[in-house]
Amino acid sequence: MSESVAVVGAGLVGCLAAIALAKRGYKVTVFDYRKDPREKSTTDRNLRSINLAISARGITSLEFIDAEMAERVLRDIIPMKGRMIHHLNGRQESQIYGLFGETINSIDRAVLNNYLLDELDRFDSDKVQLKFSHKLKKIKFRAPEELQSCIFSAEDGVEQVYGVDFIVGCDGCYSTTRDQMQREVRMRYSQEYIDCCYIELYIPPSKTYVEEFKGNFSLTPDHLHIWPRHKFMLIALANKDGSFTSTFFGPWKLVESLLKSRSRVQGFLQENFPDAMALMGLENAVECFMSYPKGALMCVECEPYHVPGGRCIILGDAAHSMVPFYGQGMNCGFEDVKVFMKLLDANHGDRAKAFQAYTETRHKDLIAIIKLAVRNYKEMSHDVTSMAFLLKKKIDSWLGKLLKDKWLPLYTMVSFRADIPYNKAVAISNRQNKILNVIQALMIASVSVLGYKALRLCYPAIRRLKRS
Amino acid sequence: MSESVAVVGAGLVGCLAAIALAKRGYKVTVFDYRKDPREKSTTDRNLRSINLAISARGITSLEFIDAEMAERVLRDIIPMKGRMIHHLNGRQESQIYGLFGETINSIDRAVLNNYLLDELDRFDSDKVQLKFSHKLKKIKFRAPEELQSCIFSAEDGVEQVYGVDFIVGCDGCYSTTRDQMQREVRMRYSQEYIDCCYIELYIPPSKTYVEEFKGNFSLTPDHLHIWPRHKFMLIALANKDGSFTSTFFGPWKLVESLLKSRSRVQGFLQENFPDAMALMGLENAVECFMSYPKGALMCVECEPYHVPGGRCIILGDAAHSMVPFYGQGMNCGFEDVKVFMKLLDANHGDRAKAFQAYTETRHKDLIAIIKLAVRNYKEMSHDVTSMAFLLKKKIDSWLGKLLKDKWLPLYTMVSFRADIPYNKAVAISNRQNKILNVIQALMIASVSVLGYKALRLCYPAIRRLKRS
């Protein structure tokens, strides 16, 4: 008889984990406390979305699970080849991500999630069951050879008990699975909010078809748009229908002070993002800024990720919630599923060994990307406008193009090279950075020496000029 | 009308907070999920106690709240003037804590807790109510000017709702109050287990009265007894009846491996603690080691400690669970109450201001003592047997005696000087440590030079001796 698993959470990572497990013959039941999002009216949007960018780690993980499935669920992605920096004076500046035309890809979270749910529906109902409106209340952990007992409260408030061989918790940064695991194992756990609030905004589709952009886009869709203003910023990612989902990020104190009056918000937006306001409609943007929910950004680190004996494991945000600034949250979650499946396969389904190996091998990579993501806020909101940063980036990408696989910029390793684990990418980048610093210093020194020599050469002429 | 407060947790800190608040005219209700411990039979002990050592911070805090109450609840303390190191060969070595005869004081947790509960019973029932068998389920935070809503499940499982002006959470390291606060405020939070398991053991009273110890003690009661064995250790603190509560501390892996067989435990205890086994009775100790619960040791750090608007605050282990190795857990919790009351008094009962000031001023001190406590495990289990450590300690206490208030050893500042905040104590100690290191290096150098000179002097004589 096949083993049974409860997947808690029907979000992106939960769906992918369920697909992967079903394909390996497990009897899968997916639980989610929400209603089926495909049945919701579109007005039910939660107004807290930050558009996703799927890149190599996400795509190769989908392909590892099922190449045809990957093709189907990724049919709506919009490739983005770089950042488009919007300066205050309206000038736009393209900064290309890859060395050889690689792209990250914009996708609406809700669309991708629905496609993955559709994939689950393709399985027979004795292999995969979807149970919405089921909120996990408690896990009673039993001996590894017994059934683990999960207690859900269903829509009518009645408690329902499910016995399963094991549980895969993909229930996000406020994970109940993780809470329950903490009663069974001694878990190192930390959560930290960064001082940054986010607000969803919206750029509607252009009223006319734009030839240059091949759609009703009012900005080029093949870039991730950034309005970096040092302490705060605006970003925008294209949707298939020509609209852009835009997000404002800024310190809580700033936002709270702005929200004291409508005119403050209006003045602030118009002063700092005049071109974006022209596209959003200032009145509309002010309305959204004031009334839409204000999101908090949290980092979660923990260890271990499993309950011994192969009884429970957590993947995705439940195990490593990170801030969105490296575009790796979902990619990393999908990679979790790939790594987990590879370990299950390598251990011939011995869950005790596979779960243990997952915690042991995955931890350093998860910590590495959580830290990188925090660091990238400064890069996106501030560094991208700094000369020194851009010079270093130029040298970095020039070396990358010249030396190919011998020199890999960090962004390339994180976003385009699924074969290099996060932790290794950081180690390689640290080594390269030392060399970069030396080159940069040498360049600045050479320029100074040349300048000095030029001055020496000109000096007699200048003196003569002065005297005359 | 007086303001109402729910104190969650009738442990040591909860009781003291309730007494302090009642004395300030608040209408206090104390809730605890346990039954009244005074009604329990003595066989109901939880077998996880680590005896407490109350020192200056704890005592002055009790006295600040109510000097007469302090005298009553501290009537059973046993002063301890130093550590008694039990070497493997049976030799006992006294290491005095204070410079001028200061002591820390052994007290049984249950006894002190019961005395504090008795103090609460002295208030009129319209001022203080005690509600046992009430488990906090949820706090619904309302606007600051409204009543906050606390939902408890009572013994019969029925939910009861209490509306209060504010909540003081003293519900220990697994605090439900803190959990509920995390839904209202963005809380930085971390928990970490140290790799150390503890097991309660017991040295029974001596059968005869021992003149030297003035009681039925089989070891001197005026010391904290330590059997330091580097990676693990045993400690023992005296009780009023002549018995000692003893605790074994050691790595989880070691304990798990020992527990595989009774003979392993027996061999281990006999080999490492022969003198302690003679007092406990080897069979009895083995039985306790095998069957008593194995405790985990957790550090909790968080921030903020309050919900804005003076709606809720957490004190004691709920806010800063620490390992027991500096004997400061309860002392720090009592000091929390003192600091909190001083801020309430200074702000004339303006809770919003007082709570905010508490988080702002208390955090650095709590972080400092949490870190000190972890560091002290190495000192207790290992350093106390090292020559270099003892030399440094000698110089430290010699300087302390010589320079009085101008030079204060860290242990003195933490345990005997309630007027120096933890964080300041650490800063002063770091400064002094630099000087200590120089003195120690100079002493070692002088000894080396003297040794060399002595050798040079003796060398001709030695050569002559050899030649003859």
Q: In what order do the strands lie in the sheet with A135-140?
A: A135-140, A148-153, A159-164
Mutate to test the interface with A, among B159, B174, B188 (most CBs of A within 10 A): B188
Asked whether residue A462 carries a pLDDT value surpassing 80, the answer given is no
* Closest residue to A186, CB basis, from B186, B190, B296: B296
pLDDT tens digit at each of 468 positions of chain B: 799 999 999 999 999 999 999 999 999 999 999 999 998 664 456 667 778 999 999 999 999 999 999 999 999 999 999 999 999 999 999 999 999 999 999 999 999 999 999 999 999 999 999 999 999 999 999 999 999 999 999 888 899 999 999 999 999 999 999 999 999 999 999 999 999 999 999 999 999 999 999 999 999 999 999 999 999 999 999 999 999 999 999 999 999 999 999 999 999 999 999 999 999 999 999 999 999 999 999 999 999 999 999 999 999 999 999 999 999 999 999 999 999 999 999 999 999 999 999 999 999 999 999 999 999 988 888 888 888 888 888 899 999 999 988 999 999 999 999 999 999 999 999 999 999 989 888 888 888 888 888 888 888 877 887 776
User: CA geometry: angle at B176 spanning B171 and B181, to 5°?
Assistant: 110
Which residue in B has a C-alpha nearest to residue A297's C-alpha? B186
User: DSSP assignment of B65-121, as one string?
Assistant: H-HHHHHHHTTT-EEE-EEEEE-TTS-EEEEES-SSS--EEEE-HHHHHHHHHHHHH
Give the β-pairing of A78-80 and A82-86: unpaired
Rounded to whole angstroms, the Cα distance separating B412 from B400 reads: 9
User: Phi-psi region for residue B348, left (φ > 0), alpha (ψ -120 to 50) or beta?
Assistant: left
Residue type, B407: W
Name A244's bridge partners.
A203, A238
Q: Which residues in chain A are contacts of B297 at CB distance < 8 A? A: none
CB within 8 Å of chain A, chain B residues 181-220: 186-193
- Model pLDDT for residues A394-428, shown as the tens digit of each residue: 899 999 999 988 999 999 999 999 999 999 999 99
What is the C-alpha to C-alpha distance for residues B161 and B137, in angstroms, rounded to an integer? 10
What pairs with residue A30 in β-bridges? A7, A130
Question: Tokens at residue A116, please?
Answer: 């993955």
Helix (H) or strand (E) holding B57: helix B56-65
A215: β partners = A210
Strand partners, A79: A105
Contacts of B191 in chain A (CB under 8 A): 187-190
> What is the ipTM metric for this complex?
0.82
Domain A4-77+108-190+301-377 sits in CATH at 3.50.50.60
Residue B205 DSSP one-character state = P
SS3 category, A84? strand
pLDDT tens digits, one per residue of A232-260? 999 999 999 999 999 999 999 999 999 99
Collapsing DSSP to helix, strand or coil, B226 comes out as: strand
Tokens found for residue A67? 């190449």
Query: Does the pLDDT of residue A330 top 80, yes or no?
Result: yes
Which chain A residue has the Cα nearest residue B303?
Answer: A192
Residues of A with Cβ-Cβ distance to B296 under 8 angstroms: 186
**pLDDT at A146 (0 to 100):** 95
Q: Which residues of B touch A298 (CB under 8 A)?
A: 186
Q: How far apart are CA B34 and CA B18, in angstroms?
A: 17
Tell me the angle at which helices A351-381 and A329-346 cross, rounded to the nearest 10 degrees.
Answer: 160
Test B190 with A187 for CB contact under 8 angstroms.
no
Judge if the upstream peptide bond of residue A293 is cis by omega within 30 degrees of 0: no
Q: What pLDDT, on a 0 to 100 scale, did the predictor assign at position B276?
A: 97
CB A363 within 8 A of CB A303: yes
Secondary structure letter of residue B125 according to DSSP: T
| Residue of chain A nearest B197, judged by CA positions | A186
Residues from chain A contacting residue B198 (CB–CB below 8 Å): none
Residue type, B283: E
Which chain A residues are within 8 Å of B188, Cβ to Cβ? 191-193
**Residue B467, pLDDT score:** 78
How far is the C-alpha of B18 from the C-alpha of B169, rounded, in Å? 11
* Whole-number Å distance between alpha carbons of A41 and A54: 26
Q: What is the identity of the amino acid at A264?
A: R
Interatomic CA distance for residues A133 and B179, integer angstroms: 24
The two beta strands, B104-107 and B52-54, are antiparallel
Is the four-CA dihedral A268, A272, A274, A275 of positive or negative sign?
A: negative
Distance from CA of B17 to the nearest CA of A (A): 28
| Candidates A188, A193, A298; nearest CB to B193 | A188
Domain boundaries defined on chain A: 4-77+108-190+301-377, 192-295, 386-451
Q: Is the pLDDT of residue A336 over 80?
A: yes
Secondary structure letter of residue B461 according to DSSP: H
- Residues 298-337 of chain A whose Cβ lies under 8 A from any Cβ of chain B: 298
Interface contact A256, partner B, CB < 8 A: no
Q: In this predicted structure, what is the pLDDT of residue B35?
A: 93
**Minimal CA–CA distance to A259: which of A231, A293, A233, A232?**
A293
H or E element: which one contains A151? strand A148-153
Whether residues A191 and B192 touch (CB distance < 8 A) is answered with no
> What does pLDDT average to over chain A?
94
How does strand B148-153 pair with strand B159-164? antiparallel
- Rounded to a whole number of angstroms, the distance from the CA of B180 to the nearest CA of chain A is 13
Q: Which residue of B has its CA nearest to A303?
A: B192
* Range A171-177 average pLDDT: 96
Polymer length of chain A:
468
CA angle A6, A186, B322 (to 5 degrees): 145
Nearest to A189 among B186, B190, B296 (CB): B190
Q: What is the distance between the alpha carbons of residues A237 and A225, in angstroms, rounded to a whole number?
A: 7
Contact B226, B83 (CB under 8 A): yes
| β A166-169/A188-203 pair status | unpaired
Q: Which residues of B touch A188 (CB under 8 A)?
A: 191-193
Beta strands in A271-413 (DSSP E): 295-303, 306-307, 312-314
Q: Does residue A128 register a pLDDT over 90?
A: yes
Nearest to B235 by CA among B114, B115, B80, B417: B80
Query: And the tokens for B215?
Result: 């009681």
Q: Nearest residue of B to residue A195 by CA position?
A: B186
* Tokens of residue B374, six digits: 């972890």
**How far lies B282's CA from each of B48, B268, B276, B288, in Å?**
20, 11, 9, 10
Residues of B in contact with A186 (CB under 8 A): 193, 296, 298
Rounded Cα gap, residues A277 and A285, in angstroms: 7
Nearest to A296 among B186, B189, B190 (CB): B186
Q: How far apart are CA B188 and CA B201, in angstroms?
A: 37
A189/B188 CB distance under 8 A: no
Tell me if B222 sits within 8 A of B237, measured CB to CB: no
User: A with B: how many residue pairs have Cβ under 8 Å apart?
Assistant: 28
Alpha-carbon gap, residue A397 to B172, rounded angstroms: 53
Task: Report angle CA A107, A110, A112 to the nearest 5 degrees.
Answer: 55
Min Cα–Cα distance to chain A from B317, Å: 17
Most B CBs within 10 A among A186, A189, A302, hence the mutation to make, goes to A186
Q: Are A49 and A237 in contact (CB under 8 A)?
A: no
Q: What is the pLDDT of residue A41?
A: 61
Contact B50, B326 (CB under 8 A): no
For residue B213, with 0-12 CB atoms within 10 Å meaning exposed, 13-18 middle and 19 or more buried, which class applies? Answer: middle
Smallest CA–CA distance, residue A371 to chain B, in Å, is: 16
Pairing relation of β-strands A135-140 and A128-131?
A: unpaired
B5 within 8 A of B168, measured Cβ to Cβ: yes
- Can you say whether the dihedral through the CA atoms of B28, B33, B36, B37 is positive or negative? negative
Whether the CB of A157 is below 8 Å from some CB of chain B: the reply is no
**What six digits make up the tokens of B272?**
């490492």
Is the confidence at residue A144, as pLDDT, over 90?
yes
Smallest CA–CA separation between A137 and chain B, in Å?
13
C-beta of residue A348 within 8 angstroms of C-beta of residue A399: no
- Chain A residues with CB under 8 Å of B187 CB are 191, 193
Of A187, A190, A193, the CB nearest to B186: A193
User: What b/e readout covers A123-156, taking b as 16+ CB neighbours within 10 angstroms?
Assistant: beeebbebbbebbbeebebeeeeeebebebbeee
Q: Which fold has domain B4-78+106-189+299-377?
A: FAD/NAD(P)-binding domain (3.50.50)
Mutation test of the interface with chain B: which of A189, A297, A299, A301, choosing the one with the most B Cβ atoms within 10 A? Answer: A189
Nearest 5°: phi and psi at A213?
-100, 0
Sequence-separated (6 or more) residues with CB below 8 Å from residue B73: B62, B112, B115, B116, B119
